[in-house]
């Protein structure tokens, strides 16, 4: 049952916070300056108002998850950190002597209470409102767009192999403490079914708890133990009958490197505040998600002045949607200018005749307009076949072709305008800010965003929401404190 009434917690020890937690501590400032009540409206439907015991406040649970992405620890270890860290207790509105929640409550909240919620957009929208209120960003602003990838926790493992890897690391942690444990703890094994592996890992946990409890007091061991326990819970909860992370996909960073996981399509301002994000599986292209990203920014009550990005954001569809709304500072694909040809294969175009001339000096005799499945158009020029048959340069052409043709892409009015815009000083000045999105992606990776905490697109979205909220708030505090 969810109780919306706020309980005043009096304690004779609260004065300790003023002595221990500095006023400029980011967690203290978040507690003092940000009203998290907006979380209640989003999550209220996930609780009963009439039955069951009183639940831990969703606001407090969201704060636990923010601490989790900051520390990059398991649920159990996050709770242990809260137990001894006064800044975290202040952020959670706990008294110094209060006990934190049980780690299982945090796990259940992650996996059940946040399902089918709009938590990512909700948290980003809140930070945008704060940034606008403090006049850190303007309503009409340039945005910089790009994507960053996050590896699946299974990379490159199946759930079966992942559990085997975690159990192996657990045994290694035990043996590093004392080699006498070799043979007393479960050894390496040959299991080919996930259900059998789950049974083995549970038995391994019970063996440690019941027969070797002294290991749980060793700090070298306990972190690996907690990760192992959480991995078992996640696999049981999500993918007991699966062989891979169902939502993760193979994506490509370059032509010869790939990854297995997810992509985060992000829009930031020049002040490096995230103002929109779309989380997808790894194979989705930046071009496909560009319009959705633009819509997210506009939903946050912002007007785009200039969209700054790489070549993925200069597609014909984006240029058409941007017409009369905002400018696009993104380089056109070279194919748009010259077609998909090497420089040495390009023909000279006779502007007077309006047709290309081949290297032997023959001019094209026919012209037709072709529309491709991609809706792109090209003018296709055909040369005189009789002249080609006796041409001295025939060997340089493809002998298998029945007719000698040459195509030139047809540019839309928007692409023509973009070509002209790319030559201006304003375009070059805007592109100088594109590096900022790379710096923001690196900042996210420093908070553990390089690998997903759990399985599935929903879990990835929750992780993105907490991470992006934290980096936004931290950036807002930094910009607010800068001398003007």
Residue 7: band (very low, low, confident or very high) from pLDDT cuts 50, 70, 90: low
Give the pLDDT band (50/70/90) at residue 337. low
Tell me the fold of 123-153+248-331+422-481: Nucleotidyltransferase; domain 5 (3.30.420)
Buried b (16+ CB within 10 A) or exposed e, 248-277: bbebeeeeeeebbbbbbbbbbbbbbbbbbb
Residue 145 has pLDDT above 60, yes or no: yes
Of the ranges 118-132, 146-160, 173-187, 365-379, the best mean pLDDT one: 118-132
* Higher pLDDT pick, 238 / 384: 384
How far is 460 from 404, CA to CA, in rounded Å?
Answer: 52
pLDDT reading at 359 higher than 80: no
Q: Residue 240's pLDDT band (boundaries 50, 70, 90)?
A: very low
- Spatial neighbors of 43 by CB under 8 A, at least 6 apart, are 58, 113, 114, 117
Q: Is the pLDDT of residue 335 over 70?
A: no
pLDDT at 3: 61
pLDDT greater at residue 64 or residue 454: 64
Per-residue confidence (pLDDT) for residue 243, from 0 to 100:
44
Q: Which residues contact 233 (CB under 8 A, 6 or more apart)?
A: 107
pLDDT score, position 141: 95
Q: CA–CA separation, 263 vs 276, rounded Å? A: 14
CA-CA distance, 465 to 467, in Å (whole number)? Answer: 6
Q: CA 357 → CA 335, 379, 450, 482, distances in Å? A: 20, 14, 52, 62
| Bigger pLDDT: 111 vs 15 | 15
Band (pLDDT 50/70/90 cuts) for residue 447 is: very high
Pairing outcome for strands 377-382 and 274-281: unpaired
Mean pLDDT value of segment 382-398 = 74
The Cβ of residue 147 has, within 10 Å, a number of other Cβ atoms equal to 24
Mean residue pLDDT across the chain: 83
Res. 461: pLDDT tops 70: yes
Chain centre to alpha carbon of residue 152: 11
* Residue 255: per-residue pLDDT: 54
Mean pLDDT calculated for residue range 85-100: 94
Task: List, in order, residues 6 or more apart from 210 with CB less than 8 Å away.
Answer: none
What digits encode the pLDDT tens for the residues 249-267? 878 776 557 788 899 999 9
Q: Taking 60 as the threshold, does the pLDDT of residue 206 lie above it?
A: yes
Max distance between CA atoms of the chain, in angstroms, equals 102
**pLDDT level of residue 398 (50, 70, 90 thresholds):** low
Between 2 and 95, residue with greater pLDDT:
95
Alpha-carbon distance 21 to 166, whole Å? 36
What pLDDT sits at residue 241?
Answer: 39
Task: Output the pLDDT for position 67.
Answer: 96
Alpha-carbon span 472 to 484, nearest angstrom: 20
347 or 199: which leads in pLDDT:
199
Q: Give 417-436 pLDDT, tens digit per residue.
A: 888 888 999 999 999 999 99
What pLDDT sits at residue 254? 64
Confidence of residue 136 (pLDDT cuts 50, 70, 90): very high
SS3 letters across the chain = CCCCCCCCCCCCCCHHHHHHCCCCCHHHHHHHHCCCCHHHHHHHHHCCCCCCCCCCCHHHHHHHHHHHHHHCCCHHHHHHHHHHCHHHHHHCCCCCCCCCCCHHHHHHHHHHHCCCCCHHHHHHHHHHHHHHHCCCCCCEEEEEEEEEEEECCCCCCCHHHHHHHHHHHHHHHHHHHCHHHCCCCCCCCCCCCHHHHHHHHHHHHHHHHHHCHHHHHCHHHHHHHHHHHHHHHHHHHHCCCCCCCCCCEEEEEECCEEEEEEEEEEEEECCCCEEEEEEEECCCCHHHHHHHHHHHHHHCCCEEEEEECCHHHCCHHHHHHHCCCCEEECCCCHHHHHCCCCHHHCCEEECCCCEEECCCCCECCEEEEEECCCCCEEEEEECCHHHHHCCCCHHHCCCCCCCCEEEEECCCHHHHHHHHHCCCHHHHHHHCCCHHHHHHHHHHHHHHHCECCCCCHHHHHHHHHHHHHHHHHHHHHHHHHCCC
> For residue 377, what pLDDT is reported?
74
pTM: 0.74
Beta bridge partners of 350: 355
- Model confidence pLDDT, tens digit, residues 44-55: 777 766 665 677
Considering only residues 225 and 395, tell me which one the structure prediction assigns the higher pLDDT. 225
Q: How confident is the model at residue 165 (pLDDT cuts 50, 70, 90)?
A: confident
Q: Domain coordinates of the chain in residue numbers?
A: 15-117, 123-153+248-331+422-481, 159-238, 335-411
């Amino acid at each position: 049952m969810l109780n919306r009434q706020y309980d005043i917690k009096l304690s004779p020890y609260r004065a300790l916070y003023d002595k221990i937690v500095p006023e400029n501590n980011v967690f203290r400032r978040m507690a003092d300056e940000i009203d998290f009540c907006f979380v209640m409206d989003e999550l209220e439907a996930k609780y009963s108002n009439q039955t069951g015991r009183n639940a831990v406040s969703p606001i407090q649970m969201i704060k636990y998850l923010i601490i989790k992405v900051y520390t990059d620890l398991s649920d159990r270890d996050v709770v242990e950190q809260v137990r001894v860290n006064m800044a975290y207790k202040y952020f959670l509105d706990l008294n110094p002597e209060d006990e934190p929640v049980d780690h299982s409550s945090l796990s259940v909240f992650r996996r059940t209470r946040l399902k089918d919620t709009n938590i990512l957009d909700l948290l980003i929208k809140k930070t945008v409102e704060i940034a606008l209120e403090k006049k850190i960003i303007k309503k009409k602003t340039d945005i910089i767009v790009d994507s960053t990838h996050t590896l699946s926790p299974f990379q490159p493992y199946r759930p079966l192999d992942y559990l085997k890897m975690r159990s192996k690391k657990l045994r290694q942690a035990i043996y590093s403490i004392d080699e006498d444990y070799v043979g007393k703890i479960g050894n390496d094994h040959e299991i080919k079914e996930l259900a059998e592996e789950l049974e083995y890992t549970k038995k391994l946990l019970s063996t440690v708890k019941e027969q070797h409890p002294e290991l749980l007091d060793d700090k070298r061991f306990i972190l690996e133990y907690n990760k192992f326990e959480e991995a078992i819970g996640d696999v049981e909860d999500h993918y007991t009958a699966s062989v891979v992370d169902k939502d993760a996909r193979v994506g490509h960073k370059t032509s010869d490197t790939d990854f297995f996981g997810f992509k985060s399509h992000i829009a930031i301002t020049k002040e490096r505040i995230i103002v929109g994000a779309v989380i997808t599986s790894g194979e989705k292209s930046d071009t496909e998600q560009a319009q959705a990203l633009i819509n997210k920014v506009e939903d946050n009550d912002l007007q785009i002045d200039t969209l700054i990005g790489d070549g993925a954001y200069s597609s014909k569809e984006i240029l058409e949607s941007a017409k009369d709304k905002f400018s696009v500072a993104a380089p056109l694909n070279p194919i748009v200018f010259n077609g998909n040809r090497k420089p040495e294969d390009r023909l000279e175009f006779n502007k007077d005749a309006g047709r290309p001339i081949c290297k032997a000096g023959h001019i094209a005799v026919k012209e037709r307009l072709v529309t491709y499945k991609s809706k792109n158009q090209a003018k296709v020029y055909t040369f005189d076949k009789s002249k080609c048959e006796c041409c001295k340069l025939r060997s340089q052409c493809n002998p298998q072709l029945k007719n000698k043709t040459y195509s030139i892409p047809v540019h839309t009015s928007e692409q023509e305008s973009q070509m002209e815009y790319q030559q201006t000083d304003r375009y070059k000045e805007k592109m100088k800010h594109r590096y900022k999105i790379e710096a923001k992606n690196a900042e996210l990776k420093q908070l553990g965003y390089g690998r997903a905490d759990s399985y599935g697109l929903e879990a990835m979205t929750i992780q993105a929401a907490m991470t992006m909220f934290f980096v936004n708030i931290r950036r807002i505090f930094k910009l607010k404190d800068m001398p003007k």
